Structures are given as C-alpha cells and as structure tokens.
C-alpha cells in the first residue's frame, strides 16, 4: 500500500460491525463489560486500551512502516516514556539543538533522577562516538532540528548505534512520515508530537511512539499503562482525522515554504535564512537523501540582529499568527529565545544559533502570495 493510501486506510479495519461506521467511533468509555472475570472483547479499562486509541495507534504504525504504535497525552509524555526505559547511571547522547521542552525534561527531571545527558552537535555524526562509553544506552536525534533546521544523518547514527548496541530514537515531528521514515533508515524508536502536523489543525495535544521490535514495544507499553499518560478517545479521533489529509497538507506546506524561504533570502532586512532546501545549507545532500521534501519550517534572523527588530516584525504580522506550536494549516510565527526555547539557558541557546533576533515560521497552507506580502509589510 502506497503512503497516500496508508494515511486513509493503513492499519485500519471496521471496528464498528454493528453499524458499519466509516470512521472509527469515539468510544467515550472508561470500562467495558465482561461475561466472566477476564472474559472481554479485548478491552477492559481505557487506560490500558481503548478502541479509538487503538485505531490511531494502528494508523501511526502503518504510516511510519512500523509494527507497534503507542499514543500518549502529549509529545513530552511520549519522550517521558522512552526515558523511563533507563535507570540511574545510564547515559544518553542527544543533539545539542533540540526542542526546549525536550531539553527541560532531560535536564530538569531525568538528570535529577540519575540519568546523564550529553548534548552534542550531530551534524557530523562522527562527533557522537567520543561520548559513547559502557554506560551509554540511547542516541536521541531530532532532524530537522528545532529551530535551527540542522540535518542529522539517520543512517550514520544507526550504524553507530548498532556498532555499540545502543538504541536510536528519532524525533520526526518536523519531517512527518510523509517526508521521512526513520525506522526504514535504521532507527529503533520514532517519536512525534502529533499535536503538530499529524493532527494538523491546532486543536489537539497528543504524542506518539512507533517501533518495529516487539520486546521494545512491550517495554514501552508497560510504561504507558503503568504511568498512565495516555490520550483520550476524542483526541485520538482528531489525530486520526488529521492523518487522513497529511499527504496533501504536507505537499502544500512544502510548496509554500520553498517560496517563502527564497523570498526571505533576497530581502535586505533579513540576515540568515535556515531552510534545508538551500543547496548551501549544511547537510543539504543528506536531507535530499533521507527526506522526500524539505518541510514546512523556516528560521531566520533580522539584519539588525537585535531583539527589538524581531519583536517589531512579529507584532506587525497579520496573516501569520504570533503563537507557540507549529504544523497547523494556519501559518504561525514565533520567537524561540523567549517562547519555545526559553527554558534553555541563554548562553547555551546562543551557542547553537538561537539568538534574540531569530524568528521561526511554521508556514501554513494559505495562498503563498498572501504569506509573502504579509512578511514584506512586516519587514517594512
């Protein structure tokens, strides 16, 4: 089954034999009747499993070419479940340019529980090996990275992980399975903040994990059930709905983003533009090899290189909405240093390029001419 068909039919079956509902129904129930103790139809309590959530988990596994999907209350809840696979003293190597919430979870929660994190520039995957020792258990990759749009070679990371018998996890939120399928490139775990492109309409918060290995799936399912950070049936339904249009939305996101990126690069009031579709973007060739397109995200700095110039621009936008998050049908603009990445110390932020004049755009599916005109008027 091809990807575009999978988004609509992949992993799905008629879970409503009573009425033949085309869409999986929302099973808004906490518990299920049993004919005898343990005698049920596959569901007994909705923290453990719910038919609507199961339909979503099957769909997630299908579009990522995995075997097992798990859905959580948020992307951070999904990451939290992965971290709970490890014990005090274990070490994890993460990219040094990643979502601020991931950094906060790693440093403020799990470092306090005994895990050790190394934050490494992974644009050259060979940098990773110097940090591997007998305590290392996981390599955590985000590609493209948030917000600097750095590209990390998943195949190279996979070879390194297999060489040292480590797990490789990839945050695939920016690329989505439409553009990139990390399991096929050698990853063990794929994570999504499904709040973003998979949901696609800025109306649901949800996270997911997809794996191929049954033992790993069972370990993660135990954490999911024991910790209870699951998503509800209504949220599951919304993401299922979003997945069905993922392919056509991502096509338009990519088309619009290319036009906006090229416009920004020619504007005199713009300094640097970070978009992996440029041929001179670091690791552009890797992006071409492991991605079907270059995505819907752009970051750029103003030529004045000041906080004030960035704030003024953001306040003048009319079609782009100044807001947290990304990946919805509407275009959003944000200021990473004070919004999504504020939890990272300023010195550490600036080392990776997250300066005060940096602006991040989530380019939506509106008319590209309207988006460009909006940026043009905001730049003045």
C-alpha distances out from residue 97 to 144, 219, 252, Å: 10, 28, 27
Residue range 195-209, pLDDT digits in tens? 999 999 999 999 999
The per-residue pLDDT for 13 is 74
Mean pLDDT of 45-54: 96
- CATH 3.90.1150.10, applies to 246-379: yes
Residue range 346-371, pLDDT digits in tens? 999 999 999 999 999 999 999 999 99
The per-residue pLDDT for 19 is 85
Where are the chain's structural domains?
3-243, 246-379
The per-residue pLDDT for 15 is 63
Residue range 133-169, pLDDT digits in tens? 999 999 999 999 999 999 999 999 999 999 999 999 9
Residue range 316-340, pLDDT digits in tens? 999 999 999 999 999 999 999 999 9
The pairs formed by 365-372 with CB atoms below 8 angstroms and a separation of 24 or more are 365/249, 365/252, 365/253, 365/256, 365/329, 366/256, 366/319, 366/330, 366/331, 368/255, 368/256, 368/259, 368/260, 370/319, 371/256, 371/259, 371/260, 371/319, 371/320, 371/331, 372/259, 372/260, 372/263
The per-residue pLDDT for 22 is 86
Asked if the model's pLDDT at residue 16 lies above 90, the reply is no
The dihedral through the CA atoms of 98, 193, 175, 327 has a sign that is: negative
Q: Which residues are catalytic?
A: 47, 99, 171, 196
> Which fold does the domain 3-243 belong to in CATH?
3.40.640
pTM score over 0.85: yes
Mean pLDDT of 222-243: 98
- Is the distance from CB of 180 to CB of 45 less than 8 angstroms? no
Asked if the model's pLDDT at residue 18 lies above 80, the reply is no
Band (67; pLDDT cuts 50, 70, 90): very high
User: Using CA atoms, how far apart are residues 323 and 340, in angstroms rounded to an integer?
Assistant: 10
The per-residue pLDDT for 17 is 76
The per-residue pLDDT for 14 is 63
Asked if the model's pLDDT at residue 12 lies above 90, the reply is no
């Amino acid at each position: 089954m091809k990807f575009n068909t999978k988004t609509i039919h992949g992993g799905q079956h008629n879970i409503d034999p009573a009425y033949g509902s085309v869409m999986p129904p929302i099973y808004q129930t906490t518990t299920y009747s049993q004919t005898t103790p343990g005698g049920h139809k596959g569901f007994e309590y909705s923290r453990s499993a719910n038919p609507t959530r199961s339909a979503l988990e099957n769909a997630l596994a299908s579009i990522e070419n995995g075997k097992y999907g798990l859905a959580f209350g948020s992307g951070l809840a999904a990451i939290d479940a992965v971290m709970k696979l490890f014990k005090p003293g274990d070490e994890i190597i993460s990219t040094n340019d990643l979502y601020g919430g991931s950094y906060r979870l790693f440093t403020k929660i799990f470092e306090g529980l005994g895990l050790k994190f190394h934050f490494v520039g992974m644009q050259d995957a060979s940098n990773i090996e110097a940090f591997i020792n007998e305590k290392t258990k996981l390599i955590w990759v985000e590609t493209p990275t948030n917000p600097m749009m750095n590209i990390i070679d998943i195949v190279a990371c996979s070879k390194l992980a297999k060489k040292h018998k480590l797990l490789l996890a990839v945050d695939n939120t920016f690329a989505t399975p439409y553009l990139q399928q990390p399991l096929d490139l050698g990853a063990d775990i794929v994570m999504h903040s499904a709040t973003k492109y998979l949901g696609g309409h800025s109306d649901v918060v949800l996270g997911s994990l997809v794996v191929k290995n049954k033992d790993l799936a069972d370990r993660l399912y135990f954490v999911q059930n024991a910790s209870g950070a699951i998503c509800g049936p209504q949220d599951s339904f919304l993401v299922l709905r979003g997945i069905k249009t993922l392919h056509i939305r991502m096509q338009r996101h990519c088309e619009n983003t290319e036009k906006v990126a090229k416009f920004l690069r020619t504007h005199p009031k713009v300094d640097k533009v970070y978009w992996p579709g440029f041929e001179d973007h670091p690791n552009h060739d890797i992006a071409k090899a492991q991605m079907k397109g270059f995505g819907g995200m752009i970051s750029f700095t103003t030529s004045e290189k000041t906080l004030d110039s960035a704030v003024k621009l953001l306040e003048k936008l009319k079609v782009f909405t100044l807001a947290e998050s990304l990946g919805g049908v509407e275009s959003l603009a944000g200021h990473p240093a004070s919004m999504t990445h504020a939890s990272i110390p300023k010195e550490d932020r600036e080392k990776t390029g997250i300066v005060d004049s940096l602006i991040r755009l989530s380019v939506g599916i509106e008319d590209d001419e309207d988006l460009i005109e909006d940026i043009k008027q905001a730049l003045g």
